[in-house]
Structure 1
Amino acid sequence: MWASSAARSNASSTSAARSGSTMRLTLGCLLGLELRRIGSGKRLTFGKGGEATLSQWMAENPRVGWLEHAEPWALESELISQLNLPLNLDQDRRNAFYDRLKELRAQARHQARVLPISAKPVALTSPAGIRRNLPERCSEVSRRSG
């Protein structure tokens, strides 16, 4: 499957810049990590601890593959129309999980904007808490997208 260089980088990067990716936002919300505003209040992140927890989870769980192609954008819409991609909000609105995932991400953003700006955000969900939250949310993805 095609993945942009940004997606490949997000899957394996440990730099601070990766914290703004939509893939990480989606996974962090599904894992139950608390999204917070930092700095000037415009940037949303799971905080240093949450981002580290998410990076650890991503290193142990998801797999990302890609195919080099001269015009990958030409394949993207066709692949999305043929595959069941419950985490793709950009082009897969027909997916049964689309509305729930969009709502989950919107709730996390709203909550982050209500909370005070965090100078040093920390993870409020331990790895053990993630292991408890994730199966429930993943089974919801399976039920809605199957």
Structure 2
Amino acid sequence: MPTPDDVARYLAANIHSRAEVMAKPPLVEQVAGVYGWWFRELPGDIDVAHCEVRDARTLLYAGISPKAPPKNGQNASRQSLRKRIRTHYSGNAARSTLRLTLGCLLAEHLGIELRRYGSSERLHFGAGEQDLSRWMAANAFVSWYPTPQPWLLEDHLLETQDLPLNLDKNNRNPFHSQLSDARAAAKARARSLPVLRNPGIGGAHVSDNGVA
């Protein structure tokens, strides 16, 4: 079970930028753990009075890699912190719940729209993923804390911390319904519009300073 010391170390972990995470050699370890996303600019009208703040950055989201092992006996995920964090910074909304959330909240501000793409009809922001990555390069920072069973610490954090951008197991959060509605509306509109040709680019095609 997580201890108060685990929480303290998680909250005190070094905070890094997109440029640092995407640089070589890799900064993030290939281990299991819990990560946290800290924001310089808020992605929406969110009450952060009870959120953790460090160096003018607000903790809004916690995630883990890998997920808890399936209870049906199937093989457990072998994903690591490195792969998951890099996917959030450079993938697309079809592969990153965080990018989907941020894109839905920032759609009007960034001029992007969730759509269906390609034969698989995956939902993402197309070329707008680059705009989202630029915003994240300027405003979204990440910390992480290695731990062998990250799902246990994540559950504890959701019970003890104010994490407005988490949806799963977080329906008591005041921002939960607003975020759920925003995502549902974006998905419904995307499914009502024609499927587009996949542009073949994701959120990776921006430079370290966030400028293409």
* TM-score clears 0.5: yes
Structure 2 vs 1, CA of residues 18 and 101 (structure 1 numbering), >3 Å: closer, same or farther?
closer
For 2:93 and 2:177, locate their aligned partners in 1 and report how far apart those are by CA, in whole Å.
Answer: 25
1:111 paired to 2:210:
no
Q: Is structure 2 residue 148 aligned with structure 1 residue 74?
A: no
Q: For residue 123 of structure 2, what is the aligned residue in structure 1? A: 44
TM-score by length of 1: 0.73
Residue of structure 1 equivalent to 2:100: 25
RMSD: 1.8
Asked whether 1:9 is paired with 2:86, we answer yes
Counterpart of 1:57? 135
Residues in 2 aligned to 1:89 and 1:68: alpha-carbon distance in whole angstroms = 22
Can you give the 5+ residue segments of structure 1 that lack an aligned partner in the other structure?
Answer: 122-146
TM-score, normalised to structure 2's length?
0.52
What one-letter code is carried by the residue in structure 2 that aligns with 1:58? M
Q: Which amino acid aligns with 1:51?
A: E
Letter in 2 for 1:76: E
Q: How many residues are matched?
A: 118
Is the contact made by 2:114 and 2:186 (CA closer than 8 Å) also made in structure 1? yes
Q: Contact (CA 8 Å) 1:10, 1:18: kept in 2 or not? A: no
Aligned sequence identity (%): 46
CA 1:36 to 1:18, structure 2 compared with 1: closer, same or farther past 3 Å? closer
**Aligned counterpart in structure 2 of residue 92 of structure 1, from 167, 170, 180:** 170
Q: Which protein, 1 or 2, shows the higher relative CO under an 8 Å CA cutoff with sep ≥ 6?
A: 1
Quick one: structure 1 residues 46 and 113, their matched pair in 2 at CA, closer, same or farther if it must change by over 3 Å?
Answer: same
Name the CA shift for 1:60/1:9 in 2 (closer, same or farther; >3 Å): same
Distance in 2 between residues matched to 1:10 and 1:63, nearest whole Å = 14
Distance apart, 1:10 and its partner CA: 2.7
Q: Which ranges of structure 2 fall in alignment gaps of 5 or more residues?
A: 1-9, 11-33, 36-64, 66-80, 200-212
Structure 1: which 4+ aligned runs deviate by more than 3 Å? Answer: 16-19
Structure that is richer in helix per residue: 1
Instruction: State the alpha-carbon separation in 2 of the partners of residues 17 and 27 from structure 1.
Output: 11
Give how far 1:42 is off.
2.3
Give the structure with the larger strand fraction.
2
Separation (CA, whole Å) in 2 of partners of 1:117 and 1:30: 22
